[in-house]
Chains A and B, each alone.
Chain A
Amino acid sequence: MAPRPLETIAGFAAHLRDHGFGIGIAESRAMVAAAIAVRVEDSERLRAGWRSVVCHCPPEWRKYPELFEAYWSPNRRKGTVQTSGQMRRSRDLRQVVAELQEGRDAQARQATRADASLTDAVGNVLDQHGDRAKGGASRCEALAERDFGRWLPQDLSQLERIVEALAQRLRRRALRRLRNDSRGRRLDLRRTLRASLRTGGEPFVPAWRRPRRERPRFFVLVDVSRSMETYAQLFLRIARAFVGILAARVFVFHTRLAEITPLLASGSGRVQEKINAVTAGFGGGTRIATSVSDFVNGHARHALSRRARLLILSDGFDSDPPDQLARELGRAKCRGARIFWLHPTRHAAQTAALTSSRELIDGFAPLYNLDSLARLSEIFGPEAR
């Protein structure tokens, strides 16, 4: 059986993993090494130290304190009620650190044992979490219970094939930047001269350059609010195909926004459970404008450019003030992004938010079955062949 401190740390790693953190054995080992490296009285500093080990991007950085509290001090969280008859085993970080360090004298022996124990502990805790998540209730429960296959009787590969065809049709834009290319038409004088040194100063082998060509960069925002729950499954599957084929970044929102690209990219079969874990506690309602604002000013602050294509998959029912959406979309537009609204009905809903933003949106398209997905390239205009 795995030693308790290792199991507890592995449990914390699994807890973070459930919330979308990409944590493997290497990170878990680094966490243990960090716990051994600090003094017991400094164990609270581990909070800061572990943060730098387990976080890999700003959204994870912001989410970490809340998750740390939830795991190590579950009783301190506001608004949580424990109804289970079984007492939750308390976790004391200082105790974990102290227990870990007790075996420090037998360090060499323990290093090997700790590695193996940690691997086992991670596995065990992962299994436990898997079982627990199945029965977990959340605001998105209705989504989770829907059959994945219900919306797509055809194979998933068909969906991917359509998105692949779309990717093929999208033109690559020539950038001002040049890249080395033997088939280029511009002479790279510096490299040619540099290469000539190998041949005694005679430029026998010219080096060439040509402009870099890149596909548009896609950002997909999927509305998973209550009003969209019947369509969200289909939209998430489409989004997953966009991640795999077009390297898109995908976000889900209802009252808040969260990035789920790593979850979709991992190809796990438990995507919906993980998305539920990410979006649990968002609260009811749909705040499209607030979510778009988070996206424009936070997640994509440095990524929105003329190459950006923003696909919003939503019915357009927004509980924010109608003019706020126009203002936020205007900000994305100012940076050169093109915005497309994909609605789950044949015609876009005539909501106040959509009406006031109509001029800022480059195209509307229905997206309710595979045929409509196949016709998606039409909204991109001359960009798609």
Chain B
Amino acid sequence: MNEQALSETLRTAGYIADEGLVTTLWFSQALERPLLLEGDAGVGKTAVAGALAKALARRLIRLQCYEGLDLQQAAYEWNYARQLLAIRLHEHGTAMAERDLFALDYLLERPLLAALTSDVPAVLLIDEVDRADEAFEAYLLEALADWQITIPELGRVVARHIPLVVLTSNRTRELSDALRRRCLYYYVDYPTLERETAIVRATLPDAASQLVEDAVAFVQRLRKEDLEKNPGIAETLDWVRALHKLELRALPEDPDTVLRTLICLLKTHDDRFQMSGERVRALVEGRRSGAVAVSA
């Protein structure tokens, strides 16, 4: 599949990617290297994996990282309860060798192993890898570089099909160089006006065209304000959905009405507190004059 086709299938799967991202995804596939996506929360990093799985008709396997994530939750775990049961059953029956207890039958596959042993090619999403501990990051190296996992009792488990791996990070901590260098890298930025408009139109086809244009332009200007948490694409979609539910055909001129709906966009107390009717008016007026409102 060439880049053009990949772009089209992603679009069909509901993800409108810019050219750079499509090229990187294509390279990730062609070079069989994991892809590390960084960017602010809400810019659509996680959605890339979902859309990719849908576009390529692959199984999506997700590993959600968090502090304290360990091998048992990420790669594999022995099914002790089943092993115990097997021992009890064999106490009065035939003899059982130790190696029988450490066979694949007694292994619980967690996402990493599942992605490597999957019968069909999979997309493995390792989400928010920065939240996991550094030790876990080191463990990932073997899986991502050599496409294998070493289980002491069994030996090496090599991938049947090399999965397409997407790692995401919000940069709550710096990832190690070793991990970064094994991955391709792409910084997902906030979308341009055109792309965000296209995304909203594709997701909410019933919303009035004027409303979508006004709302997206407003959000683009809002992101240039000095906010603690910039609204992401998900917030834009929520907001346009809310405005659409209010049966609005365009952005209301009354700043107070807009202000009341901004709970969909502003997610911290400070941002909410500093957004007065006056600032909203300036942002809305920026739409009319075509200028960009910048806070003092």
B84 touches which of A30, A34, A55, A197 (Cβ 8 Å)? A197
Report the stretch among A45-53, A112-120, A130-138, A364-372 that lies at the interface. Answer: A45-53
Report the stretch among A21-29, A147-155, A281-289, A314-322 that lies at the interface. Answer: A21-29
| Given known contacts A24-B181, A37-B31, A51 and B81 CB-to-CB distance under 8 angstroms | no
Distance in Å from the Cβ of B68 to the closest Cβ of chain A? 7
Q: Mark B183-197, 1 if CB is under 8 A from A, else 0.
A: 011110000000000
A131 to B114, CA, bound (A): 51
Residue of B nearest to A301 (CB): B171
| Given known contacts A45-B3, A55-B185, A30 and B33 CB-to-CB distance under 8 angstroms | yes
| Given known contacts A37-B31, A45-B3, A52 and B24 CB-to-CB distance under 8 angstroms | yes
| Given known contacts A30-B33, A57-B180, A58-B38, A197 and B23 CB-to-CB distance under 8 angstroms | no
Which residues in A have their C-beta under 8 angstroms from that of B160? none
Residue of B nearest to A209 (CB): B68
Do the beta carbons of A48 and B80 come within 8 Å of each other? no
Majority SS at the chain A contact face: helix
Which residues in A have their C-beta under 8 angstroms from that of B30? 34, 37
Do the beta carbons of B187 and A61 come within 8 Å of each other? yes
Q: Mark B146-173, 1 if CB is under 8 A from A, else 0.
A: 0000000000000000000000001111
Residue of B nearest to A265 (CB): B177
Distance in Å from the Cβ of B172 to the closest Cβ of chain A? 5
Give the number of residues in A that approach B within 8 Å (Cβ atoms).
33
Distance in Å from the Cβ of A267 to the closest Cβ of chain B? 14
A177 touches which of B27, B67, B81, B177 (Cβ 8 Å)? B67
A253 to B173, CA, bound (A): 23
| Given known contacts A56-B185, A197-B80, A49 and B24 CB-to-CB distance under 8 angstroms | yes
Which residues in B have their C-beta under 8 angstroms from that of A262? 177
Identify which of residues 262-277 in chain B touch chain A, using a CB-to-CB cut-off of 8 Å.
none
A200 to B27, CA, bound (A): 50
Which residues in A have their C-beta under 8 angstroms from that of B172? 302-303
B105 on interface, CB distance cutoff 8 Å: no
A30 to B27, CA, bound (A): 10
Do the beta carbons of A52 and B27 come within 8 Å of each other? yes
A358 on interface, CB distance cutoff 8 Å: no
B252 on interface, CB distance cutoff 8 Å: no
Identify which of residues 139-198 in chain A touch chain B, using a CB-to-CB cut-off of 8 Å.
177-179, 194, 197-198
Which residues in B have their C-beta under 8 angstroms from that of A280? none
Of the A-B pairs whose beta carbons lie under 8 Å apart in the complex, a sample of 6, sorted by A's number, is: A37-B27, A48-B20, A48-B23, A52-B24, A262-B177, A302-B170
Beyond A48-B24, A52-B23, A53-B27, 12 additional contacts (C-beta under 8 Å) are A22-B181, A24-B181, A27-B181, A30-B31, A34-B27, A37-B27, A49-B24, A52-B35, A55-B187, A56-B181, A200-B84, A301-B171
